[in-house]
């Protein structure tokens, strides 16, 4: 990303997913420029470090738009935890009011920075699609039962008996690159039901290529699948790996879902400037 001098940014966290957020309401850099920039600044230990980068951009159809990039530099359609952070960033910087709309590659997101709550945001996301239950997935010669749904990005959900003993990274990576999901791959979620209205999840995220502390679209996917399987009814509480709770709500008829919302925190961790040395 070509810019003279340091680049102002906010470091934000949505339930443990952390992001570098930049106000960049000017022509967006080329994909190659962004891939290099993002992959460098997301390195932990050598640069700012993050799960992804959010560029706030201008929009002709909403209050603003965004580009969302995973840590590997690839742009993806949606990040639900990131969408809450983008909404709070826009509100705090007077880019948009508390209730507003912003444009993504997955469609328009409706956002509300909730009054009287420090950093709590609710977003309504584009309708999920492509629900498929009980899909056999063979990994390392073993049969696994996966449930598929697209919540802006593709997800597989596995329900497991012992979440702590599950090989999230090993099975997650094999799922992410499985031939069933070529060429773009998928995210993989591992879930167990803790109570009548609470599910605990762990997620292997495509683009980060590791387990993350939270995944908003994964939380939504898991809640939808659990409801379709008759395990739970909305609203659904999702406990993420960070321990932070997310609330997923939606309306559903059979395998169709609409008015899907995700509510959770959007924390401002710190603000700063990205220096040239962060790009070395």
**133 alpha carbon, distance to own chain's centre:** 22
- Rg for the chain (alpha carbons), in Å? 18
78, 79, 149, 221: which is the annotated catalytic residue? 79
**Tokens representing residue 155 in the block:** 């997800």
Give the active site residue among 90, 168, 215, 228.
215
- The CA distance from 229 to 223, in Å, is 10
Tokens of 86: 């983008």
| Angle of the 216-228 helix axis to the 80-92 helix axis, nearest 10 | 130
| Catalytic residue flag (residue 42) | no
Return all residues near 195 (Cβ < 8 A) that are at least 6 apart: none
Terminal C-alpha separation, the chain? 13
79 is catalytic: yes
- What DSSP character marks residue 263? E
Sign of the torsion formed by the C-alpha atoms of 122, 127, 133 and 138: negative
For residue 11, give the nearest of 45, 41, 36 by alpha carbon.
Answer: 41
Q: Phi/psi of residue 126, each to 5°? A: -55, 150
Angstrom distance (rounded) from CA 232 to CA 199: 9
Answer yes or no: are the C-beta atoms of 48 and 42 closer than 8 Å.
yes
Dihedral of alpha carbons 151, 249, 23, 276, sign: negative
Residues annotated as part of the active site? 79, 215
């Amino acid at each position: 990303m070509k810019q003279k001098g340091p680049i102002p940014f906010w470091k934000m966290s949505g339930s443990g997913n952390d992001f570098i957020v930049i106000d960049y309401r000017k022509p967006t850099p080329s994909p190659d420029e962004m891939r290099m920039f993002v992959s460098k600044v997301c390195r932990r230990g050598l640069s700012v470090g993050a799960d992804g980068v959010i560029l706030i951009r201008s929009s002709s159809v909403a209050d603003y738009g965004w580009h969302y990039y995973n840590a590997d530099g690839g742009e993806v359609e949606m990040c639900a935890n990131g969408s809450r952070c983008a909404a709070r960033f826009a509100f705090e910087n007077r880019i948009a009011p508390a209730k507003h709309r912003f444009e993504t590659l997955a469609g328009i997101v409706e956002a509300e920075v909730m009054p009287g709550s420090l950093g709590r945001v609710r977003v309504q996301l584009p309708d999920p699609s492509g629900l498929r239950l009980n899909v056999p997935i063979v990994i390392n010669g073993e049969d696994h039962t996966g449930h598929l749904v697209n919540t802006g990005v593709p997800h597989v959900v596995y329900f497991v008996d012992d979440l702590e003993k599950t090989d999230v990274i090993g099975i997650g990576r094999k799922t992410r690159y499985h031939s069933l999901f070529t060429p773009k791959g998928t995210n993989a979620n591992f879930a167990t039901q803790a109570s009548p209205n609470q599910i605990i999840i762990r997620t292997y995220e495509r683009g980060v290529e590791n387990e993350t502390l939270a995944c908003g679209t994964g939380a939504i996917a898991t809640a939808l699948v659990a409801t379709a399987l008759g395990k739970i009814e909305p609203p659904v509480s999702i406990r993420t790996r960070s321990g932070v709770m997310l609330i997923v709500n939606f309306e559903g008829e059979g395998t169709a879902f609409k008015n899907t919302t995700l509510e959770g925190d959007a924390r401002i961790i710190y603000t700063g400037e990205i220096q040239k040395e962060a790009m070395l």
